[in-house]
């Protein structure tokens, strides 16, 4: 089983929400003290790929389109169990999903693959489009939001998670592309020692030219105009009373504000 996993590196804003600031260009956030790491969804995809490889044999190749700093995430992918990694050296922030899809397609079509996996979306831009676009460009079937996966005899049986806990079951003929939802597995811990060991594995950097593409020929179809923070609310209400009273009060407030869907 040859598996290709497309991953990206994002800024970790989970614990540092209050330090997020828009930069001078108005189209990105300041890196500042934020640290980078693998996109959460992609980690699940990688883990799924590595587990499959451990069960069925074969290879896992991690690919990305991004700048040099993203090698950290590729190394982590190698430490998790990917056999090799390939990075197309470009600033992905200057591209839209369609352009990235075209670059990835050009790369992946040169690799042998039975299965391609993407994270269902990215933490920063959250478009969720990349996987389906690449599948279309490659002319292979795809399924998104996959929460469980079984592979046997040239087929992938997947469950997709819908609203309200409903699951759809699909069978796809391989080669196929899947976008992976969080929770499908428990990504393994990557120890410091295994990251060091992974330095022996192949991390290849390629240029657009080597794929027969040029930056000029890849014009984005979507243009980001502006990035802004939602204004922080200026109201605070003190809820008093006994624990039960306060809880009931709070529940009502949350329901009425639409924060919780009542049902």
Contact footprint for another protein (CB under 8 A): 12, 14-16, 19, 33-35, 37, 80, 186, 188-194, 196
Judged on CB neighbours under 10 Å (0-12, 13-18, 19+), 103 is buried
Length of the chain: 263
CB of 192 to another protein, least distance (A): 4
CB of 243 to another protein, least distance (A): 13
Residue 193 or residue 232: which is nearer to another protein going by CB? 193
Residue 36 or residue 219: which is nearer to another protein going by CB? 36
Residue 5 or residue 190: which is nearer to another protein going by CB? 190
CB of 22 to another protein, least distance (A): 18
Helices (H) and strands (E) in the chain, counts: 6, 11
Q: Read off the tokens for 221.
A: 């179809």
Residue 17 or residue 169: which is nearer to another protein going by CB? 17
CB of 30 to another protein, least distance (A): 13
Q: Read off the tokens for 237.
A: 């209400």
Look-up: residue for tokens 């802004």? 228
Q: Read off the tokens for 163.
A: 């609203």
Per-residue DSSP letter, 212: T
CB of 194 to another protein, least distance (A): 7
C-alpha distances out from residue 138 to 89, 105, 159, 176, 217, Å: 22, 7, 22, 10, 19
Angle, helices 40-56 vs 71-80, to 10°: value is 30
Q: Is residue 29 within 8 Å of residue 226, measured between CB atoms?
A: no
Q: Whose CA is closest to 87, among 71, 98, 103, 101?
A: 71
Residue 19 or residue 254: which is nearer to another protein going by CB? 19
109 alpha-carbon distance from chain centroid: 20
Measured distance CA(228)–CA(139) in Å, rounded? 37
Residue 192 or residue 229: which is nearer to another protein going by CB? 192
The pairing of beta strand 84-89 with beta strand 176-180: unpaired
Q: Is residue 149 within 8 Å of residue 157, measured between CB atoms?
A: yes
Residue 173 or residue 196: which is nearer to another protein going by CB? 196
CB of 14 to another protein, least distance (A): 7
CB of 123 to another protein, least distance (A): 15
């Amino acid at each position: 089983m040859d598996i290709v996993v497309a991953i990206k590196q994002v800024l970790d804003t989970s614990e540092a929400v209050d330090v997020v600031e828009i930069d001078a260009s108005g189209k990105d956030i300041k890196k500042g003290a934020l640290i980078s790491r693998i996109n959460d969804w992609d980690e699940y995809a990688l883990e799924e790929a590595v587990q499959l490889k451990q069960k069925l044999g074969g290879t896992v190749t991690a690919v990305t389109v991004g700048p040099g700093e993203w090698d950290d995430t590729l190394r982590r992918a190698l430490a998790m169990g990917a056999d090799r990694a390939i990075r197309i050296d470009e600033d992905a922030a200057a591209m839209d999903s369609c352009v990235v899809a075209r670059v990835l397609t050009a790369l992946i079509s040169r690799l042998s693959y039975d299965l391609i996996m993407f994270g269902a979306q990215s933490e920063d831009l959250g478009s969720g489009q990349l996987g389906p676009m690449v599948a279309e460009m490659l002319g292979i079937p795809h399924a998104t939001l996959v929460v469980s996966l079984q592979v046997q005899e040239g087929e992938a049986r997947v469950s997709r998670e819908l609203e309200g806990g409903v699951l759809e079951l699909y069978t796809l003929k391989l080669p196929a592309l899947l976008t992976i939802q969080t929770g499908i597995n428990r990504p393994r811990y990557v120890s410091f020692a295994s990251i060091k060991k992974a330095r022996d594995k192949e991390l290849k950097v390629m240029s657009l030219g080597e794929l027969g593409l040029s930056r000029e020929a890849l014009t984005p179809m979507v243009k980001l105009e502006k990035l802004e923070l939602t204004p922080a609310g200026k109201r605070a209400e003190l809820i008093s009373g006994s624990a039960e009273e306060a809880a009931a009060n709070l529940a009502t407030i949350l329901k009425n504000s639409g924060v919780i869907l009542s049902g």
